[in-house]
Structure 1
Amino acid sequence: MERIVITGMGVISPLGNDTEAFWTRLTRGESGISFIDTFDTSRHKTKIAGIVRDFDADGYFGRKEARRMDRFCQFAAAAADQALSDSGLQLGSEDLERVGVYVGSGIGGIQTLLDQHQVLLERGPERVSPTLVPMMISNMAAAAISIRLGALGPSLSPVTACSIGNTAIGEAFRCIRSGGADVIFAGGAEAAITDISLASFGNATALSKRNDAPERASRPFDADRDGFVMAEGAGIVVLESLSHALKRNARIYAEVIGYGASSDAYHMVATHPEGIGAYQAMRAALREAGVRPEDVDVISAHATSTELGDRSEMLAIKKLFGEHAYRVPVTANKSMTGHMLGAAGGVEAIALAKSLQEGLIPPTINQERSDPDCDLDYVPNIARRAQLTVGLSNSFGFGGHNAVIVLKRYTP
């Protein structure tokens, strides 16, 4: 059966707008959380987020094209451009019917919707932009990338909330393995830090209110965690069949060897308190990969910094891994990036691929007071060198969507 590898990566994030900048800050244990300065937060309970800074959309796309893309779509297209360049693919010599795009967004173009609703209220229906709908709908990230690349192959925009990136990568993995494509750009994008989103999450008591210390607000597994921190960005990888990658002598970051998906079938927003769905998705991913739990060298946790979410994920890990759960390092990228929602899985897959390639595990920062229910090895505060072969990445989303991928350090 065809092996599937990662040959290109692109990142837009609160830690930097390219893969190397992101990786450098992530492994230094730096936080990308800051005060929100894009709208008035005076009446909000939470005033902090992981905002993408210094992103020049006009520079990426030109002013005319940029104005026809919502911010989430701009992030996705920019990350895909980076991934293409990084991969070394020469699309002019590719069979474009064999090149696909699997990229989703959880919330889509919400700022465009808000802006045009204001136009409707203030100036009337005659002034509402005809581009509202195509800028707002979440499949436009995949569409924009496909158009820019001229990719004629399978195109998919999964909407599985915060597990989108892993869903996209996992489904792309299976598509290539079954012969449906040679190359697929896969991942997720999000730009939902808006007045109304912040209000809704805040009123749901889901967000951290540690406004006096933004850098310390996202603290997965720490006893003093008080909620997640919203963030934005995009993470896109280029997946290829190994035979296709070898034919063009491509650089290979890592191999995708397994994918598992499940549903909690439990609640609209809460994770199952015993982590049943998370356990099932991890188990399915390892089975497909042909890997035993004790062969896993590192786990990239979903770990949003909510009390129930972190605890239920730990229960799932302990149930599946048994005593090995206490020996395998568990890292939480969201401690530094915040929760990038639909972009999280793609970005965290990139971090895991870099970990396997370089033998370096990013830390979980803000580990200050132990939670007795979260008692595993979280690589506290300082990155760690380690011999790494197999890594597992968890992503879970509202509605009980769970998606897990297994990556392996590439060996010929």
Structure 2
Amino acid sequence: MLNRVVITGLGALTPLGNNVKTYWQNLVAGKSGAATITRFDASLFRTQFACELKDFNITDHLDKAELKRTDTFTQYALVAADEAIKDSGFELSKMDPFDIGIIWGSGQGGMETFEEQVTEYARGNGQPRFSPFFVPKFISNMASGMISIRNGFMGINYTTVSACATSNTAIMDAFNYIRLGKAKIIVTGGSEAPITPASIGGFSSMKAMSARNDDPQHASRPFDIDRDGFVMGEGAGALVLEDYDHAVARGAHIYAEVTGASMTADAYHMTATHPEGLGAARAMQQALTESGLSIEDVDYLNMHATSTPVGDLSEINALLAVSKNKEIKTIIGSTKSMTGHLLGAAGAIEAIAAIKSIENQVIPPTINTTTLDPAIPDTLKFVLKDAMDHKVKVAMSNTFGFGGHNGIVVFKAI
């Protein structure tokens, strides 16, 4: 008999807000987090804007010693995890620390540290000038390690990497470990700090990102006929997953239940999604079947939809394949129109959006989309421009990543 798994804590650090409350308010209000990059001079790049954090000071959260030995992606993880742990309200003193784990995700890890250290070495005319913190700061598992150290959690502890499906991979693994009885509580999610010259430059050279430098706030426009690429975002999302019986016994607030999750591979292309969405469709169907549901039961689908010409349509094709040409009543949206694309952290903050839609019975809008791509059937129902009051009992979150990774998670009202 598998254990039931529920969400008892949430934490968010996003371009729309530095906590869950502000993030959700601005999502519902339809605000854009995009603006010209301030982190460095991006004037020579094809894309010169991104969705950066706003009014955020890391020194309000971490001391000098912690800052010295952590990369920005780990710092973001610690802040989001702190909020989620506090929100969940569990007490370590009343638990076996080996019953609490961390499964965290990051697509790039310490890109900022790696870039800075290698550049510093090159400037030193070949003389070794690497920091002793270089390796510990940039390796991608350090966020989970530091969450463990900071809180004294001694259970399962590792990191998932599956490009932009990373957070959903982490959530899925946490779900599976808890329902198998290998943990009572797991802090999971993802963090990314990709607004650096190398990261922006690399994606720019691929022409994967929008180049609407004169109008950043309207650049991310999923499903729109004039979409021209994604907008980079940064931040972190954290969720506390917990054994249902354990949560009930301690009187925890339960946001929703995780009922199903699945991963498949496209086995198609390094960076492009399968045009027919074959792998995505199978992952969606498996997650629904595991949940004991069908696509007709899904009230809100937060699509991966990054605003790329190929990717958005392949995901639509996957949805049509799952529906087997039946009428789809699911309300479709993409919060990336506001947050940008947080790469390995995208799934985590979008899971939070899905969970909050269940809690509040409101679906956030997809902004900037004015004319749907004519290849999209007019029978599909999108939430555009304004948030929608809607009964949401079941919400599904899609994520896909370079390398053909497809990760789907289903949430249900308890």
TM-score w.r.t. length of structure 1: 0.98
State the 1:126 CA deviation.
3.9
Q: Which ranges of structure 1 fall in alignment gaps of 5 or more residues?
A: none
Summarize the alignment of residues 142-153 of structure 1 with structure 2, pairs less than 5 Å apart. Answer: 142-153=144-155
Matched, 1:396 2:400: yes
Q: Is the deviation greater in 359-368 or in 123-132?
A: 123-132
Classify the secondary structure of the residue corresponding to 1:259.
strand
Match for 2:384 among 380, 384, 388?
380
Match for 1:407 among 408, 411, 414?
411
Match for 1:256 among 255, 258, 261?
258
On the 8 A contact 1:45/1:202 being kept in 2, the answer is yes
What is the distance in 1 between the residues matched to 2:208 and 2:327?
Answer: 27
Matched to 1:113, the amino acid is F
Matched, 1:92 2:96: no
State the 1:63 CA deviation.
1.7
Instruction: Tell me which residue corresponds to 1:297.
Output: 299
What is the distance in 2 between the residues matched to 1:325 and 1:68?
Answer: 53
Matched to 1:180, the amino acid is K
State the 1:325 CA deviation.
5.4
Classify the secondary structure of the residue corresponding to 1:61.
coil
What is the distance in 2 between the residues matched to 1:196 and 1:307?
Answer: 24
Instruction: Tell me which residue corresponds to 1:66.
Output: 67
Match for 1:242 among 244, 248, 253?
244
Classify the secondary structure of the residue corresponding to 1:25.
helix
Instruction: Tell me which residue corresponds to 2:135.
Output: 133
Matched to 1:100, the amino acid is G
What is the distance in 2 between the residues matched to 1:106 and 1:55?
Answer: 22
Classify the secondary structure of the residue corresponding to 2:400.
strand
Matched to 1:281, the amino acid is A
Matched, 1:192 2:194: yes
What is the distance in 1 between the residues matched to 2:53 and 2:330?
Answer: 32
Instruction: Tell me which residue corresponds to 1:316.
Output: 318
Matched to 1:48, the amino acid is F
CA RMSD, Structure 1 to Structure 2 (Å): 1.1
Describe the superposition over 1:350-380 as per-residue Cα deviations: whole angstroms up to 9, x where unpaired.
Answer: 1100001110000111111121123422201
Matched, 1:212 2:193: no
Q: Is the deviation greater in 56-65 or in 319-328?
A: 319-328
How high is the sequence identity, in percent, across the aligned residues?
A: 47
Match for 2:334 among 319, 329, 332?
332
TM-score w.r.t. length of structure 2: 0.97
Q: Is the deviation greater in 277-286 or in 322-331?
A: 322-331
Match for 2:364 among 342, 362, 365?
362
Summarize the alignment of residues 224-243 of structure 1 with structure 2, pairs less than 5 Å apart. Answer: 224-243=226-245
What is the distance in 2 between the residues matched to 1:401 and 1:365?
Answer: 26
Matched to 1:37, the amino acid is T
State the 1:203 CA deviation.
1.1
What is the distance in 2 between the residues matched to 1:383 and 1:373?
Answer: 24
Runs of 4+ more than 6 Å apart? none
Describe the superposition over 1:64-106 as per-residue Cα deviations: whole angstroms up to 9, x where unpaired.
Answer: 2112111100000110000011111111211110101000100
Classify the secondary structure of the residue corresponding to 1:157.
strand
Describe the superposition over 1:48-71 as per-residue Cα deviations: whole angstroms up to 9, x where unpaired.
Answer: 101012222222111221121111
